[in-house]
Amino acid sequence: MEFLSYLITGISLGSIYAIIALGYTMVYGIAKMLNFAHGDVIMVGAYVSFYVTMFAGSNLLGDDPSTLASGIVALVSVLLAMAVCTVLGVVIEGLAYRPLRQAGSLAVLITAIGVSYFLQNAAQLLFGANPKNFTPIVSGQLTLFGGQLRISYVALLTIAACVVIMLGLTTFTGKSRMGKAMRACSEDRGAAQLMGINVNATISMTFAIGSALAAVAGVLLCSYSPVLQPTTGSMPGIKAFTAAVFGGIGSIPGAFLGGLLLGIIEALAQAYISTQLSNTILFAVLIVVLLVKPSGLLGKYVPEKV
C-alpha cells in the first residue's frame, strides 16, 4: 500500500514534468531551439494565479465561500494565468528570439538563458523575494481501502490534466491545419516556407501553446508543492528538460513518457534509496538511457546529411 502511494506521488509529479516537457519539446521540434526561459514562464503563471485568487478571496468572495464559488475562482485564475503566459510567450519569442532566427544556435541558447534570468529578477522586483504560500486550487483527499491509501485531489487533477493535454496536443498536431503546418516546419523550415506556410506565425503559435501549458503546469506545480518564489520554476524546468531529452526531444509522446518515468523514478528513489541521492539517481538513469539510445526513448534517429 505504501508502494502504491509512492507510485501515485511519482505519477502526479511526473505529470507536472510531462506538461512542462511538452512545452520544451514542441519548441525544440519546431523552432530547433532550447527555450530555457520556459521554467520561468511557469513561475509567472503561478504568480498570476496566486494574485487572482488572493484578489478574489479578499474582494469578491465572502468569509465562507461555497465550493462552487471557489471552484470558479480557481478556474478563472488558471484561465487568466494562461492568457498572461500566452502573451508573454509570444512577446518573448518576438522580441528575443525572432531577431536571431538566422543566427547560430549558441546565440539563441545564450539569449534564452538571459531571458530566464530577466524573468526571475523581474519577478523578484515585482512580487518580492519572500516565498508565498500558494493555496492549492483543490483541497481534500480521496480515501481508499478503509483509510490505508489516501490520494490528494490535487494529484488526481494533475494526472487528469496531463492526459487531457497530451491527447489534445496529439490530435491538434495530427489533424488540424495549424498542426500540419507545425509538422511541416519541423521537418524542413525552408521547404515549408516555399509551400506557402507562414513560418513566423507558426513558431509564434508554438510558443503561445507552450506558454499556455506552462501556466497550467505552474498552477499544478504550486498546488502540489505550495511554496512560490521567483526561482520556483527553475529546478522543475531543468528536470522537465531532462524529461524531454529522456523521452526523445521533439516527440510529444516522448515528453509525456519521459516526464512520467522521471517523476516515478524520483519518488521511488526518494522513498526506497535515499532522499539525498534521488537527483543523482535520476540523472544517472538519464545518462544510461542516452548511452543505450542516444536519441531518447521515443526519439527518431536522424542522420546528419553532410
Contact with other proteins (CB under 8 A): which of 2, 105, 175, 195?
Answer: 2
Which listed range, 19-27, 94-102, 165-173, 224-232, lies at the site for other proteins (CB under 8 A)? 224-232
CA distance 259 to 239: 8
Contact status: 195 vs other proteins (CB under 8 A): no
Shortest separation between residue 19's beta carbon and other proteins, angstroms: 16
Selected from 64, 130, 291, 301, the binder of other proteins by CB under 8 A is 130
| 58 is a contact residue toward other proteins (CB under 8 A) | no
Q: Which stretch binds other proteins (CB under 8 A): 95-103, 127-135, 160-168, 196-204?
A: 127-135
Residue 142: strand, helix, or coil: strand
How far lies 274's CA from each of 88, 123, 197, 271, in Å? 39, 33, 51, 7
194 near other proteins, judged by CB under 8 A: no
Please give the Cα distance from 90 to 274 (Å, whole number). Answer: 41
- Number of residues in contact with other proteins under rule CB under 8 A: 38
SS3 150: strand
Q: Which cell numbers in the block locate residue 108?
A: 539563441
Q: Which residues are CB-contacts of 88 (< 8 A; sequence separation ≥ 6)?
A: 41, 44, 211
Residue of 11, 13, 34, 220 that binds other proteins (CB under 8 A): 13
Reference 195, options 204, 184, 203; nearest CA is: 184
Pairing of strands 141-144, 227-228: unpaired
Nearer Cβ to other proteins (1/106):
1
Q: Which residues bind other proteins (CB under 8 A)?
A: 1-2, 5-6, 9, 13, 50, 54, 128-136, 139-141, 143, 150, 152, 154, 224-227, 229, 232, 235, 267, 270-271, 275-276, 278-279
